Amino acid sequence: MVKETVKHLNPYVPEVTLTELKQRYGLDRLVRLSANENAFGTSADVVKALDSWHYADANLYPDSNAEQLRSLISTRFNLNPDNLIFGNGLDELIELLSRVILSPGDEVLEPATTFSEYQLHAQIEGAKLRPIDLDDSGRINLAAFMREVNDKTKLVWICNPNNPTGTFIAPEAIEKFMADLPTTVTVVVDEAYIEFTGEKKASVIQLTKRYPNLVVLRTFSKVYGLANFRIGYAACTGPLIAYLQAARLPYNLSTFAEIAAKAAFSDTDFIDQVVDTVISERKKWEHFLMKSGLLFYDSAANFIFFQVKGGDADGLYEYLLKNGYLVRNGLRAGWLRITIGKPEDNQAVQDLIAAFLTK
């Protein structure tokens, strides 16, 4: 009835809703710091833009090519507009890339600790996944990746900054990796969190002009605060972009999503404010974790990943949840990932962790 590969999947399991968790734990307030969402909302310009739309042409199909958003993005990054493809969140593009590139028996390289959807879609396509250990600092080890490339390797996933570790590798290192890699191997660099590095030249999106086997993914779900609208895009060149467009479903980006994305993308002041606040709060988190003697990885994202003293991540997770804060458990034994929230919530969570550690 179904593919053998689908019968054995470990699907992505979304979190229980906040409403259900509040009822279960008897909470009046529950702050979600588990999904790496933008704790500061989205630009006020998004609300204005959607109000101005007022459901005009809601009965009509949207622009299948998202031409207005395409123009904004290509102009800012000095890219050929035809070298962009849009998806219903990056999830759709991850699925699309796997479907277009992979055949049964192909090999896929990914960090041993990274975003789970890369693995999911490799399995669906019948490809063999080869996880590569991170280095001692929790960073993606490109030298180790290169050693594992062989004639069967078709796809390499690099999440940068990496989720859930938050660690970042310099664009120069990725450029060297691309230069040494066979052109038969496609490299996908997922830059969902790239803005939170605070560095203007952190992205490798310009390298797509030089390497037709490089794809760069970006999203509106994180720094732009539009996770509910499901908007992602990829940049790539060569024959690959044409194959992806041919396989893409039409009308996959709604008009209201494009309107929201245009407004959010244009409000650079809001984005700068969010990034500055996240970086400031991230430094406070690092100081707290060092002071508490907790091992953590250097993060360049809007979250931090740390090891719970004594390995009791389950206990701390439950303690925080009962006190109104939902964090991410289960990504690595004994570790928790916490989204960087508003200053008052960060301080409250740190106070709760300190109290838990002294119990």
Cα–Cα distances (Å) from 179 to 79, 146, 169, 187, 217, in that order, read 21, 11, 16, 12, 20
Please report where in the chains the tokens 């044409």 appear, as a residue: 242
**Residue-number span of the structural domain to which 232 is assigned:** 44-266
**Coil vs helix vs strand at 1:** coil
Do residues 230 and 339 share a domain?
no
Do residues 218 and 291 share a domain?
no
Give dist(CA 154, CA 7) in Å, integer. 23
Do residues 52 and 28 share a domain?
no
Of 266, 287, 317, which one is at a domain's C-terminal end? Answer: 266
Of 197, 232, 266, which one is at a domain's C-terminal end? Answer: 266
Do residues 211 and 94 share a domain?
yes
pLDDT digits (tens, 9 = 90+) for 256-306: 999 999 999 999 999 999 999 999 999 999 999 999 999 999 999 999 999
Do residues 234 and 337 share a domain?
no
Other CB atoms within 10 A of residue 45 CB: 17
In CATH, what number is assigned to the domain containing residue 48? 3.40.640.10
Give dist(CA 127, CA 203) in Å, integer. 28
DSSP 248: S
Do residues 97 and 228 share a domain?
yes
Helices (H), 109-253: 117-124, 142-148, 171-180, 238-247
Do residues 144 and 259 share a domain?
yes
Predicted TM-score of the model (pTM): 0.96
Do residues 77 and 38 share a domain?
no
CA atoms 325, 330, 334, 335: torsion sign: negative
CA-based nearest residue to 93, from 211, 199, 224, 186: 186
pLDDT surpassing 80 at residue 128: yes
CA-based nearest residue to 160, from 203, 222, 98, 198: 203
Of 216, 232, 266, which one is at a domain's C-terminal end? Answer: 266
In CATH, what number is assigned to the domain containing residue 315? 3.90.1150.10
Calculate the CA 233 to chain-centre distance.
12
Do residues 77 and 196 share a domain?
yes
Do residues 228 and 133 share a domain?
yes
Do residues 198 and 298 share a domain?
no
Domain count, the chain: 2
Other CB atoms within 10 A of residue 314 CB: 14
Lowest mean pLDDT among 49-53, 324-328, 346-350: 49-53
What percentage of the chain exceeds 70 in pLDDT? 100
Of the CA atoms within 13 Å of residue 122, those in its CB half-sphere come to 21
pLDDT digits (tens, 9 = 90+) for 164-202: 999 999 999 999 999 999 999 999 999 999 999 999 999
CA-based nearest residue to 85, from 101, 104, 66, 68: 66
Mean pLDDT of 106-129: 96
Do residues 70 and 179 share a domain?
yes
